Amino acid sequence: MSKKKIDELHCSFCGRTESQGATVLPSPAENAGICIDCIERAASMLGMIEEDDDSMGAARRARAKHHAGGHSHGEPEKLKKIPTPEEIKAFLDEYIVGQEQAKKYLSVAVYNHYKRLDQPKDADGVEIEKSNIIMVGPTGTGKTLIARTIAKLLDVPFTIVDATVLTQAGYVGEDIESLLTRLLQAADYDVKRAERGIVFIDEIDKIARKGDNPSITRDVGGEGVQQGLLKLLEGAVVNVPPQGGRKHPEQPMIAVDTKDILFICGGAFEGIEQAIAHRLNSSFVGFATSNNGRRVERDNLMRHVAPQDLRTFGLIPEIIGRLPILTHLLPLDRDALRKILTEPKNAIIRQYTKLLAMDGVKLEFEPEALDYIVDKAIEYKVGARGLRSIVETIMMNPMYTIPSNKTKKFVVTPQFCREQLEEAHFDADAV
């Protein structure tokens, strides 16, 4: 072989030479180089690795935050000032109409929880235990809004998770530990900050076991999920997948201690009134009837909800014990729905008034129009959440046309509301 052939620049990866059509970039090392094709293949491989490594990156960021300044000694940051229960309730009153008992219970529970986190480590041996909360009430009564508003006041990481997507490990769905993934994301993967956050578990009633007797077969989305939630509610160090979803052995995990995370559970528990009524009626037996005879209004049965009713509904005793604070939310009456439209800081009517004011338009709702909207919400039994659907439907056409014309004022009348709902075929089946 000639010396010219030996000295010809070649790719150290694929072996091709320039005479074979390869464009080879030389390196400082003698007789070494890499061709353009190999560079492109390497870039493609690195891109795939980087894409698959998102969870590892999240885990590294979490570990870095865990050991970064301010958390180097493992001390969680404290709230600047813990608002008193009266201050918490006053803040809730600005956003939530009615539900006085629920707001009072939540205010006291949250105050005690964060006061517990800041308790000094003394030698008296008294350790204050965590008090998680469960709220029972029909849909659209403000369960989620109360939890979200408290988190807003305290400026702590807050997330809402749906219990219906959780399943036992090994089945299709999300692992129970993955509900903490969203809390980590809300805290920007700051583990210590996430460990002082609030998790609202919605639709907790949907994981009730199907019968009152323990199941002898797999209850993938019911009793098994309740059993899995026990360690999270009570407090344990849990390995959390950084990107959520299913866990697998090769995935890096983030260790999160749940003992200082406040869990608030909410559910409609549709049909629990029957269990409450049965329990109340069972006490009216024999001669005690004359002394204890009290008529319980059917609409107010939720006032008398007790832990044993949750057990009858299908929650296991262990999970009820880890949710010691039980409060209820009552169905919203006509007056409450009317106030919700206009009085809270973020009232629906205020939001639309502000939207149109940004276009230089003054929006007004006649009182009779507001009454009509409330009547429709009651007719369809959609609660406060349904008010927005009704107002959205009524305001769709005006919101479409007003920005293009020179209207300076728009008044919503009952007749206009009726026409818009009829045009949109807004009926009970559409809600």
Q: Residue 162: what pLDDT?
A: 85
Q: Residue 89: what pLDDT?
A: 92
| Protein fold of 334-430 | Helicase, Ruva Protein; domain 3 (1.10.8)
Residue 335 neighbours by CB distance under 10 Å: 11
Under a CB-based contact definition with an 8 Å cutoff, are residues 286 and 320 in contact?
no
The tokens describing 420, both together, are: 């818009």
Residue 387 neighbours by CB distance under 10 Å: 23
Helical pair 85-93 and 143-154, crossing angle rounded to 10 deg: 120
Residue-wise pLDDT tens digits, 8-67: 777 888 888 777 767 787 776 666 788 888 887 777 766 544 444 554 455 545 544 444
Q: What angle do CA 30, 31, 32 make, to 5 degrees?
A: 90
Q: Residue 231: what pLDDT?
A: 84
Q: What angle do CA 59, 62, 63 make, to 5 degrees?
A: 85
Domain ranges of the chain: 3-52, 76-267, 334-430
For the 76-267 domain, the top CATH level (class) is alpha beta
Q: For residues 207-218, b (16+ Cβ closer than 10 Å) or e, as one string? A: bbbeeeeeeeee
Residue located via tokens 């072989």: 1
Q: Residue 90: what pLDDT?
A: 92
> What is the spatial distance between Cα 163 and Cα 167, in angstroms, rounded to a whole number?
9
Nearest Cα neighbor of 129 from 238, 235, 264 is 235
Nearest Cα neighbor of 279 from 323, 325, 312, 315 is 312
Residue 177 neighbours by CB distance under 10 Å: 22
Q: Residue 74: what pLDDT?
A: 46
Q: Residue 425: what pLDDT?
A: 79
Residue located via tokens 């919700």: 340
Nearest Cα neighbor of 208 from 131, 133, 135, 317 is 317
Ranges of the chain with pLDDT below 70: 1-7, 21, 28-31, 45-80, 121-124, 167-174, 210-222, 244-251, 282-299, 427-431
Strands 198-202, 158-162: pairing is: parallel
Q: Residue 407: what pLDDT?
A: 84
Which 3 state secondary structure label does DSSP give 265?
Answer: strand
Q: What angle do CA 59, 64, 65 make, to 5 degrees?
A: 100
Q: Residue 326: what pLDDT?
A: 92
The tokens describing 341, both together, are: 């439209």
| Distance between start and end Cα atoms, the chain | 84
Q: What angle do CA 238, 242, 246 make, to 5 degrees?
A: 80
Amino acid at 382: V
Kindly tell me the burial class for residue 431, based on how many C-beta atoms sit within 10 Å of its own C-beta (0-12, 13-18, 19 or more): middle
Under a CB-based contact definition with an 8 Å cutoff, are residues 201 and 149 in contact?
no
> What is the spatial distance between Cα 193 and Cα 187, in angstroms, rounded to a whole number?
6
Residue-wise pLDDT tens digits, 347-398: 899 999 999 999 899 999 999 999 999 998 888 877 787 888 899 999 999 9
> What is the spatial distance between Cα 250 and Cα 260, in angstroms, rounded to a whole number?
28
Give CA separation, 122 vs 83, 116, 118, 125, 396, in Å: 24, 13, 12, 7, 61
Q: Residue 302: what pLDDT?
A: 82
Under a CB-based contact definition with an 8 Å cutoff, are residues 292 and 280 in contact?
no
The tokens describing 402, both together, are: 């007003």
- φ and ψ at residue 18, rounded to 5 degrees: -65, -30
> What is the spatial distance between Cα 412 and Cα 188, in angstroms, rounded to a whole number?
44
